[in-house]
Amino acid sequence: MSQALIFALIVVAVLAVAFIIPAFRPYLRPMPFVAFLLGISSGFPLTLLLATMTFWLSRVGIDKSTIGFAIGLTTPYTLKFLWAPLVDKLPLPVLTRLFGQRRAWLFFIQALLFAALWQLGASDPALHLGQFALWAIMVAFLSATQDIVIDAYRIEILSEEELPHGTAMNQFGYRTGNLLAGAGTIFLASSEGAGLGWAAAYGITAFCVLPAAIGALFAGPGRYIERHARKAGASLGTWLAETVVNPFREFLGRHGAFLILGFVLIYKIGDAMGQVMLAPMIVELGFSDTEYVAVNKFVGFAALIIGSAFGAPFIAWLGMGRALFVSGLMMMLSNFLFSLLAVAGHSTPMLALAVGTENFTSGIGLTVFVTYLSGLSSLAYTATQFALLSSFAAVGRTWLSTPSGYLAEALGWFWFWAFTVVVAVPGMVLLWIMWRKGFVVETVRQPSTMDD
């Protein structure tokens, strides 16, 4: 049974449950489905750049040290808040008038991304690695910019009630994009698959921009709020202040803003540290590639999708504050199963239990966390503020987890995973403080409660 079939069966099961349990019914609404389509287009470029591209480079004999530059392609995702204000407020000639601000930028960026992907696929890394790298960087920048637009547009087309379900559907779509860009592109290119070659495979995968475009045409312009757009006679300074300064000033002026940023920075650090060291531990414990892939492909993937599906009802049942706290505890404690795996050694059932539990709790936790970030983003500055928050989360995930290798070496696997549980405690303490001070609202989107 393939990942695609598992995904399809889970989606069918969720839709069936949606007819029975009220907390799942918003999954059947049109706008959450549009969020699913947006997720497909958002999810495929990064996988295409990292997993698929590094596989291609390895196949043509590029050395490992050179392939390592691919990690640098994640940089635009951590810095996207720097140009998000322009994407947020700068109108595009003709396109903005025809389609609205969000869809104009979406169509514009997707056209450039489509062209860049074709050029990347047509480049020959074995002969022209520099040209190949240039197009890869362009794809990374355009992909990060597309995420700015899609995240803002997703928040603006979803009602307050639909936001958790739309976020979960967006995660489903993201995983679908991952599948298409990963296994799909390799199948199209490989001689053992369709045998089309890398240029054709990348060219076909580029059509993954279409789901978001189709969804956007159906959903309309969304609830974009135009404030102080630059018109004839308006000063450039006034427009720049509204576009660049005010989104950050509005957010940082809220009570508890720096506490919230600190929480976003460290909330998932334990989970991130563990993920960096999971593969090395699996190798050291003697698991074969086949065993690890089978557990990830079937147990892990299914658990992740099911967990994501439960994220939205989780918020409905518990409220945002309790959902953040309980999902955080679940993610934190699930890491301890890897300590038990370190003691058990080469035990496939224990590996399946640990990976399945971790993916299930992460699926719930990610949906809850992204819904929380979405609710913090004022509709007046959606793109800029969500880019700021998601960039902070990416910095915590990427840079604060870098000492993982040194810690694993010094502590051993059992105590390393125990440490990932302990290091998650400060995030939970910050969440508790925020909750007690009223900085975590129980409804999904009420940024005005913190705007005093």
Domain boundaries, the chain: 28-224, 245-452
Report the CATH architecture of 245-452.
Up-down Bundle (1.20)
Q: Which superfamily is assigned to 28-224 in CATH? A: MFS general substrate transporter like domains (1.20.1250.20)
Q: Does position 350 have pLDDT exceeding 90, yes or no?
A: yes
Q: For 413-431, what is each residue's pLDDT tens digit?
A: 999 999 999 999 999 999 9
**Cα 305 to Cα 359: distance, rounded to the nearest angstrom:** 8
Structure confidence by residue, pLDDT tens digits, 257-283: 888 898 888 888 888 888 778 878 887
Above pLDDT 90, what percent of the chain? 41
pLDDT of residue 248: 86
Least confident piece of the model among 23-32, 216-225, 290-299: 290-299
**Which of 234-243, 279-288, 299-308 has the lowest average pLDDT?**
234-243
When pLDDT is averaged across residues 399-411 and rounded to a whole number, the result is 79
- Least confident piece of the model among 190-194, 236-240, 301-305: 236-240
Q: 261-294 in b/e burial notation, b at 16+ Cβ within 10 A?
A: bbbbbbbbbbbbbbbbbbeebbeebebeeeebeb
Per-residue pLDDT for 212 more than 90? yes
- Angle (CA) 129-135-136 rounded to 5° is 85
Please say whether the beta carbons of 146 and 223 come within 8 A. Answer: no
CA distance 399 to 47: 20
Q: Do 28-224 and 245-452 show the same overall fold? A: yes
3-state secondary structure of 253: coil
Whether 320 shows a pLDDT value over 80: the answer reads yes
Q: What is the DSSP letter of 385?
A: H
Instruction: For residue range 136-167, list pLDDT tens digits in order.
Output: 999 999 999 999 999 999 999 999 889 999 99
> What does the pLDDT look like over 88-107, one tens digit per residue?
989 999 999 999 999 999 99
Find which of 111-115, 157-161, 162-166, 376-380 is predicted with most confidence, using mean pLDDT: 111-115
Measured CA angle at 390 (ends 36, 228), to 5 deg: 90
| Alpha-carbon span 190 to 357, nearest angstrom | 33
pLDDT value at position 179?
83
pLDDT at 425: 93
CA distance 312 to 165: 5
Average of per-residue pLDDT across 431-442: 79
